[in-house]
Amino acid sequence: MRVPRFSKPSATRFEIVDALRGAAVVWMTVYHFCFDLRHFGYLQSDFYRDPFWTLQRTVIVSLFLWTAGLSQAIAWHQGQGWARFWRRWAQVAGCALLVSAGSYLMFPRSFIWFGVLHGLAVMLVIARLSAPVGRWLWPLGALAIATPFIAQAVHSTLGYGPFPWIFDERWLAWLGWVSRKPITEDYVPVFPWLGVMLWGVAAGQWLMRARPQWLQVRVPAPARPLVTLGRWSLTWYMLHQPVLIGALMAWQALR
């Protein structure tokens, strides 16, 4: 079922959505700062296996992708054209390439070849094309989340046999149907994460149709910096790690 659109499309932004994205940015920054402290030897933690850190990462990425889906639903409802979509998409894709290049310089053996921005670039296109599906996005999102677990069950049942598990190869590992996590500093494959974004689109369509007043809530003054941060989330994402790492390197040099 198609979500009814405004008779006159507008580019209205909702503070609550930007604030949610801003909260994810703050949480991500704190998480990455702790990761950097570990990298420089100031913190002893296992960011790859300790549930305290892995759960945080899951929640942070989920919040980012859910709000991205929510924003896509709002833009689609307001009649945003493909030209504007592709301009924003090009920024995300370009930044993804920069992340790969930068991470290769720092972690050549585990550089980021399909991280959150790479996944976001692919999923944004799918979410945009899927928007007309309407309420079917809920079960489709659930299916997207379930498919990696189904792939794991298939792999456990069949084993490698005479052939390698083809989805472990890098040219297909971006799908997420792997038997084991690839060696990389950030890995956000299409599945299961597409399901989170599709749920964001579905939630956004429901809100625009049934509860638009919830999106129009004004953010309290003390939290308004989150609104600004959420509107510049991509810029912050690209700059925060070079600044944090540079600061820690300067601290080490001055000690």
Mean pLDDT of 225-246: 96
Tokens of 74: 């709002």
Mean per-residue pLDDT, 46-70: 96
Per-position b or e across 44-70, b if 16+ CB within 10 A of its CB: eeebeeeeebeebbeebbbbbbbbbbb
Distance CA(187)–CA(129), nearest Å, equals 24
Q: Where are the alpha helices (DSSP H) in 107-189?
A: 116-130, 137-158, 170-173
Amino acid at 127: A
Indicate the pLDDT class of residue 6, thresholds 50, 70 and 90: very low
pLDDT digits 0-9 by tens, 128-184: 999 999 999 999 999 999 999 999 888 888 765 555 678 988 899 999 999 889 999
Q: CB burial class (10 A; 0-12, 13-18, 19+) of residue 26? A: middle
Mean pLDDT for the chain? 92
pLDDT, position 162: 52
Residue 8 has pLDDT above 50, yes or no: no
Report pLDDT for 166: 86
Question: Tokens 């549930």 appear where?
Answer: 51
- pLDDT at residue 25, as a whole number: 97
pLDDT of res. 71: 96
| Single pTM value for the model | 0.90
Please answer whether residues 103 and 111 qualify as being in contact, where contact means their C-beta atoms are separated by less than 8 angstroms: yes
**What pLDDT does residue 124 have?**
98
- The pLDDT of residue 185: 92
Please state, in angstroms and as integers, the Cα–Cα distance from residue 73 to each residue in 67, 106, 230, following that order. 10, 37, 17
Q: Considering the chain, what percentage of its residues have pLDDT values greater than 90?
A: 83
Residue 5 is predicted with a pLDDT of: 43
Distance CA 106, CA 39 (A): 11
Q: Which pLDDT belongs to residue 161?
A: 55
Asked if residues 225 and 21 have their Cβ atoms less than 8 Å apart, the reply is: no
Residue 2 pLDDT grade (very low, low, confident, very high; cuts 50, 70, 90): very low
| Residue 57 pLDDT exceeds 90 | yes
Question: Which helix H or strand E contains 105, and what residues bound it?
Answer: helix 82-106
Q: Name residues whose C-beta falls within 8 Å of residue 236's C-beta, 6 or more positions apart in sequence.
A: 25, 29, 229
Mean of pLDDT values over 238-255: 93
pLDDT digits (tens, 9 = 90+) for 71-102: 999 999 999 999 999 999 999 999 999 999 99
Choose among 147, 99, 148, 92: nearest CA to 122: 92
